[in-house]
């Protein structure tokens, strides 16, 4: 019998689930993907902020399954595009767009933007909810630049085109352990872990 406490991650994105579980392990929590449950209601991400979407996911799933849940909404904010793609990051090139289609659209839009103006950040907001409880919100950001072309095979989403000047690498070129030191999700998670440690 596992002594880990279980929390449902309101996502079917296996990349996110793996990332969460690498961070959760040391705090004694296990994140379970929505893919492990049947007939879970689809949560429409219609909020105008990452926080609104994260809360909606967490509350819906926690209420439906009667378990603690974490909702995650995250995305890329590009300064030259006035913060786009933002909450539309996962569907920037269309409703069922692949990661590559999304970042290719971004690179196309950024084609004429000079290096000095290619600043961007990944932002992640997490909402942790126990059934009937108030959501606990944490967030984190990771600053970088939009590269001119992709590189690397790790990660997911916009990682291949997100350049980290301090590391002189794209996010997708980092080993998972390196990414977990600096990513927006890792930063939001570290804050949330403080909360989870108190949920003994």
**Which domain range does residue 108 map to?**
5-197
User: In the predicted model, is pLDDT for residue 68 greater than 90?
Assistant: yes
Whether residue 12 is annotated as binding a ligand: the answer is yes
Structural domain count, the chain = 1
CA distances from 7 to 62, 99, 121, 138 (A): 9, 26, 28, 16
CB 158 within 8 A of CB 179: no
Alpha carbon distance 152, 36 (integer Å): 30
Q: At a CB cut-off of 8 Å and minimum separation 6, what does 26 contact?
A: none
pLDDT averaged over the chain? 92
CATH of the domain at 158: 3.90.950.10
Per-range mean pLDDT, top range of 27-36, 104-113, 176-185: 104-113
Q: What pTM did the predictor assign?
A: 0.86
User: In the predicted model, is pLDDT for residue 199 greater than 70?
Assistant: no
Whether residue 57 is annotated as binding a ligand: the answer is no
pLDDT tens, position by position, 21-57: 887 887 788 899 999 999 999 898 899 999 999 999 9
pLDDT tens, position by position, 125-158: 999 999 999 999 999 999 999 999 999 999 889 9
pLDDT tens, position by position, 73-99: 999 999 999 999 999 999 999 999 999
Whether residue 14 is annotated as binding a ligand: the answer is yes
Whether residue 3 is annotated as binding a ligand: the answer is no
Whether residue 122 is annotated as binding a ligand: the answer is no
Whether residue 157 is annotated as binding a ligand: the answer is yes
Which residues have a catalytic role annotated? 73
């Amino acid at each position: 019998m596992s002594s880990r406490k279980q929390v449902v991650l309101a996502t079917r994105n296996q990349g996110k689930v793996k990332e969460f579980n690498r961070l959760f392990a040391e705090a004694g929590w296990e994140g379970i993907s929505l893919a492990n449950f049947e007939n879970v209601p689809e949560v429409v991400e219609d909020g105008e902020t990452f926080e609104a979407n994260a809360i909606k996911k967490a509350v819906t799933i926690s209420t439906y399954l009667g378990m603690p849940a974490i909702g995650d909404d995250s995305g890329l904010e590009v300064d030259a595009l006035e913060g786009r793609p933002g909450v539309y990051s996962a569907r920037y090139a269309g409703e069922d767009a692949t990661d590559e289609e999304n970042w290719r659209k971004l690179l196309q839009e950024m084609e004429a933007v000079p290096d000095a103006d290619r600043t961007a950040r990944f932002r992640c907001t997490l909402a942790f909810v126990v059934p009937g409880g108030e959501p606990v919100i944490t967030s984190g950001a990771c600053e970088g630049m939009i590269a001119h072309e992709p590189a690397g095979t790790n990660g997911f989403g916009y990682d291949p085109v997100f350049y980290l000047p301090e590391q002189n690498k794209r996010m997708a070129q980092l080993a998972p352990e390196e990414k977990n030191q600096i990513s927006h999700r890792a930063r939001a998670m570290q804050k949330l872990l403080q909360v989870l440690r108190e949920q003994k």
